[in-house]
Structure 1
Amino acid sequence: MLATEVGLTEGQVEAELGRLAASGAISRDDSGAVVAAGGLAVTPARHRLLLGGHGYWTWCAFDGIGIPAALELDAVLDTRCPACGAGLRITITAGNPPAGSPVVGWLPGGPCTNVQDDFCPEANLFCTEAHRATWRQTAGDPPGTAATLYALAETGRQVWADLT
């Protein structure tokens, strides 16, 4: 059915889905159905996102800020600070996170051949800059950049610009 819609053979579609899954751009369930794409999932993950009145999950906290920012939508992201385990709730209004929040994000650097394996596990939000610094030291000083919620939203608008 998808093959017919896009004018490809089933083999070509399956090869492309396999390539996307290998790069971490999509996730598939045991039946082969796509259950996540571009960071937004319909299956449980670490970060919960209420977007457009529907509940989803995201692969990383950056997705939870960046996707609603790019779409200029209201959203609520529920996640946890990896340094202390405290729950964090970020309310996004018309794509904009709250101004002046002490919450800080981490955008991992370094090689990334599979976004879900190489980027998302460390792309988190932290209660404070001190928690981010403690986590980074404990994690072995991984490469990357600290970012405010505003900076995460701006970067998200660029990353997901093709959604708009």
Structure 2
Amino acid sequence: MTSAHPTQTVAELSQPGGALDLGQGPARLLIRMLRLLAQEDHPIRRDRVLDSIADLGIEHAHAAALLDSWTERDDEGRIVGLGLTHNPTAHQVIIGGARKWTWCAMDTLIFTIVLNAPITVSSTAPESGTVVRLQVSPSGITVADPVEAAVTQRVPARGQSDFSTKTAIWGSFCHHSFFFLNRIEAEHWAAGRDDIATLSIEDGFDAARDMAAALTRYEKDHADE
């Protein structure tokens, strides 16, 4: 797939009413958990979760059900991961001096915008095991090593995006989004797939900006709270 068509498809996913429009309550809850995961050096305690739900004014049972479905937990029931995670993956990030990981490559680009913070990325490509290193900021890619790096993103057909559980999210998007040393390596990995977009790092960031806008859409309505 070329970079033009996939970017348009991501824009469709991100538009109001699109698959990435989670709705006001779920979107704001996701962003609050992302910020807590980024800010704290340990998993999110239950009391912090309850305070966040109350502060956002979301109906408790609905919010709790969403988080039960979406999040990784430890043995104490604390939230370990929701896109950003304390559990190691192929995508290591440094945010505010702290090491964490993300569920997929595109998350690293999306979260620098959502969190409004620079992120250092070290991501391992599947099959080859090569490492792509990036410095990203809310305004774009500041360093890419190698400069020819590419990123993949699944662009499912209508009705094939599933955000009901973390396992569904992994299957719909995360297990298909990786950084590669170049477009050739990425296209070799995605050979035979018609639902994988292969993007340059710059085009990937543009797509991430659309996806971040879908998540933060409702934050603007509450900016003065």
Give identity over the alignment, percent: 19
| Aligned counterpart, 1:136 | 190
Equivalent position SS for 2:190: helix
How far apart are residue 95 of structure 1 and its match? 4.0
1:57/1:95 CA distance change after superposition, 3 Å: farther
Task: Structure 2: state its 5+ residue gaps.
Answer: 1-46, 163-167, 221-225
* CA-CA distance at 1:93 after TM superposition: 4.4
Q: 1:67 aligns with which of 88, 107, 111?
A: 111
What CA distance in whole angstroms lies between the structure 1 residues aligned with 2:98 and 2:81?
Answer: 15
Q: What root-mean-square deviation, in Å, do the aligned CA atoms of Structure 1 and Structure 2 show?
A: 2.8
Give runs of aligned pairs for residues 11-160 of structure 1, distance below 5 A: 13=60, 16-22=63-69, 24=70, 26-37=71-82, 39-93=83-137, 95-97=139-141, 98=143, 101-110=147-156, 111-113=160-162, 114-137=168-191, 140-160=192-212
Structure that is richer in strand per residue: 1
Equivalent residues of 1:83, 1:126 under 8 A apart: no
Which secondary structure state, in structure 2, belongs to the residue aligned with residue 160 of structure 1?
helix
Q: Deviations over 1:37-95 (max 9, x none)?
A: 2x111222221001122211100011112211444432211111224211111122454
Q: Tell me: CA distance 1:16–1:93, structure 2 relative to 1, closer, same or farther (3 Å).
A: closer
Q: How many residues align?
A: 156
TM-superposed CA distance for 1:21, in Å, is 4.3
Rounded to whole Å, the distance in 2 between the matches of 1:45 and 1:149 is 20
Distance 1:17 1:94, change over 3 A: same
Quick one: distance in 2 between partners of 1:105 and 1:160?
Answer: 16
More RCO (CA 8 Å, sep 6+): 2
Give the TM-score normalised by the residue count of structure 2. 0.59
Q: AA paired with 2:171?
A: D
CA shift in 2, pair 1:40/1:4, >3 Å: closer
Q: Please report the TM-score for the alignment, with normalisation by the length of structure 1.
A: 0.78
> Going by fraction, where is helix more abundant, 1 or 2?
2
Relative distance call for 1:21 and 1:123 in structure 2 (3 A) is farther
